[in-house]
Amino acid sequence: MTKIIALVTGGTGGIGTEVCRELHSQDRKVIAVCLPEEKIQAERWLKEMRGEGIDTDIVTADVSSFESCEQMVSQVKERFGNIEILVNCAGVTRDKTLQKMDHNQWKAVINTNLDSLFNVTRNVVQDMVDKGFGRVVNISSVNGQKGQYGQTNYSAAKAGVHGFTMALAQEVAARGVTVNTISPGYVDTRMTAAIPTEIKDQIVTTIPLGRMAQPVEIAQAVGFFCLEKTAYITGANLPVNGGMYMS
């Protein structure tokens, strides 16, 4: 039986790696997307993953570029087949208060965190519709729900992620394709490791569960939305934030 092909943007990152492991546990063929300039590091990552027995591969693309994503999806389809699960996980931060933020810092975050949803999803969704099955999971953030000081760019992009989810979910629901959002809180990754310790300690005091999430906890939520048996859930946003923001 041919395995379902799952594509994970930002797949070699902290959350992305655990998403790849989770989808492998569902017997998917997993393809991780990394930036072209990160290919050497990604090849080391691939060797480690295969050493764990995980059936994965890597492809390169700049998810902020539609043309790059178009070429990447074409390569995946040629090598492996049509993509039936897509996890839009790529993301960056460029934190500054709006008064100090320059246009490049704004655009870098919007292009990578929001435009990428269109750039990748637009190139795979028609095949899902044609087959009558597909799963799209978009990674947003608690800060897209509540906002965050110094993150007008990030909060705006991540709020837009769920708007994209709800609209696309309505467009493709009748064809067996579901589109959902995960909104993590603070996760113990390289990105949050760069936060000064005193600020991290302050953040943890605002989390009712008293700790940051582990990447595997986000990945398990992603995996839930990718199951065949969750076909009746679409347009939903699942917060995984330790109670930091409740709605």
Which domain CATH number covers 228?
3.40.50.720
Which residue, 35, 10, 245, 5, is CA-closest to 139? 10
- Residue 246 falls inside a structural domain: no
Give me the pLDDT at residue 213, please: 97
* Catalytic residue positions, numbered: 154
Instruction: For residue 162, name the pLDDT band (cuts at 50, 70, 90).
Output: very high
Per residue in 57-116, pLDDT (tens digit) is: 999 999 999 999 999 999 999 999 999 999 999 999 999 999 999 999 999 999 999 999
Per residue in 63-73, pLDDT (tens digit) is: 999 999 999 99
- Residue 59 falls inside a structural domain: yes
**Where does the chain show beta strands of DSSP type E?**
5-9, 29-34, 56-60, 83-88, 134-139, 177-184, 237-240
Give me the pLDDT at residue 2, please: 85
**Which range among 44-58, 93-107, 190-204 shows the weakest confidence by mean pLDDT?**
190-204
Distance CA 124, CA 143 (A): 28
- Residue 118 falls inside a structural domain: yes
- Residue 243 falls inside a structural domain: no
Average pLDDT over residues 28-43: 97
Contacts of 24 (CB under 8 A, 6+ apart): 30, 54, 55, 56
Distance CA 10, CA 91 (A): 7
Residue 1 scores a pLDDT above 80: no
- Give percent of the chain with pLDDT exceeding 70: 100
Number of domains the chain contains: 1
- Residue 79 falls inside a structural domain: yes
Give me the pLDDT at residue 55, please: 86
- Residue 72 falls inside a structural domain: yes
Residue 237 scores a pLDDT above 80: yes
Residue 15 scores a pLDDT above 80: yes
Residue 174 scores a pLDDT above 90: yes
Instruction: Report pTM.
Output: 0.96
Q: Which residues pair with 180 in a beta bridge?
A: 137
- Residue 174 falls inside a structural domain: yes
- Residue 247 falls inside a structural domain: no
Average pLDDT over residues 179-186: 97
Note down the domain range covering 99: 5-238
